[in-house]
Amino acid sequence: MINIGLFTPNRNPYSETFVQAHKNHLRDTVFYYYGSGTQTKLEGHPQLASKMKRIRLRAQSLFGKKGPTFVKHKVIYDSLKKRRIDVVLAEYGIHAHTILPVVKAAKIPMVVHFHGYDASVPEAIERCGNYAEVFEYASTVVVVSKAMEAALEKLGCPKEKLLYTPCGPRPEFEEVTPIFTKKQFIGVGRFVDKKAPYYTILAFHKALQTIPEAQLILAGDGILHNTCVNLVKHLKIEDKVHFPGVISGEQFKEYLRESVAFVQHSIKAANGDMEGTPVSIMEAGLVGLPVIATNHAGIPDVIVHEETGLLCAEHDVDTMAIHMVRMAEDRLLARELGSNSSIRIKEHFSLKKHIGLLQEALNKAVSEPSV
């Protein structure tokens, strides 16, 4: 058994189900660190450094000429040594870049897991020095889409360090069976630029011209939430589009059970932000629900057009509307695509497979340290 230090920049179980999956399913002892610098916390344990210790370290930094990063690194360093951490799993390339100095100082191997924003936004990548030091130090660099794999290799990550493995759906979703009795569409995710929920609404508005009895559920929250609510009001379809907010896994299962398709119109945002491979899409597929989405980032790795779902180009509202109508009016097609999707997810994108590959990478980092 090894001790794994799981590091994330914040604690957000709502949108980061993959972090919870790693914390709960890796077979070794996982110490979950979240936050940055002196504000870093270790789940289930007291604060890493008392107020007096932080004052003492700050004084040492000021008068001992040890540099401005001494305090924030020292409290993490001491915890890593106290917990006898064997390997660090850093969620997000940006956070890996942030904690790299202290991980290096502790001489602990590191596996870095990229997810989307960190591998696609030019400003963020440049701020991290194109991840040159991260790529050099990391034992393995995990990517969740083929597009991300190509992008990081182009940035300079050695090909032999790259490990492609999408995060995988929560296995309990396999218990759900869609009933296909409603012309209802479900979308779940943050209301942010790259998920473009307004395009989903516009496509649904067009589809309503043919299927006026249809309903759309858009669950989640984010900076575009009020914009989408206002758009629905402007289009006068408040009785057709519903915003339940952040929902639980059980609520998501129920929406999947009674819907005809999962919908998501992901795009490349103006700042370059892109998806990895959305877990919600894989969970819908595992249930046996067809997915209507865009040919974006890791989505076509999972969803095969006309086989497990229907894809369209980014910004193509008209085609997405046609796909919605087609799926709502042809239940046999919806069932067939959904069944194919469930088989594909189980065979190629299960959480068990993902955790197994990640566990191998962590074990390898410990047994064959490059530090």
Q: Which class would CATH give 171-348? A: alpha beta
Spatial CB neighbours of 234, under 8 Å, sequence gap ≥ 6: none
- Residues of the chain below pLDDT 50: none
What pLDDT was estimated at residue 198? 98
Q: For 240-265, how does the pLDDT look when each residue is reduced to its tens digit (9 = 90+)?
A: 999 999 999 999 999 999 999 999 99
Spatial CB neighbours of 46, under 8 Å, sequence gap ≥ 6: none
Q: Which two tokens stand for residue 287?
A: 């249930």
In the chain, where are the structural domains located?
A: 3-168+351-367, 171-348
User: Rounded to the nearest 5°, which phi and psi values hold at 278?
Assistant: -60, 125
The answer to whether 319 touches 295, Cβ cutoff 8 Å, is no
Q: For 196-223, how does the pLDDT look when each residue is reduced to its tens digit (9 = 90+)?
A: 999 999 999 999 999 999 999 999 999 9
Distance CA 100, CA 106 (A): 10
* Domain 3-168+351-367 part of CATH 3.40.50.2000: yes
How far CA 258 is from CA of 177, 252, 363, in Å, comes to: 9, 10, 42
Angle formed by the axes of helices 197-207 and 317-329, to 10°?
60
What pLDDT was estimated at residue 289? 97
Q: For 325-354, how does the pLDDT look when each residue is reduced to its tens digit (9 = 90+)?
A: 999 999 999 999 999 999 999 999 999 999
What pLDDT was estimated at residue 187? 98
The answer to whether 214 touches 292, Cβ cutoff 8 Å, is no
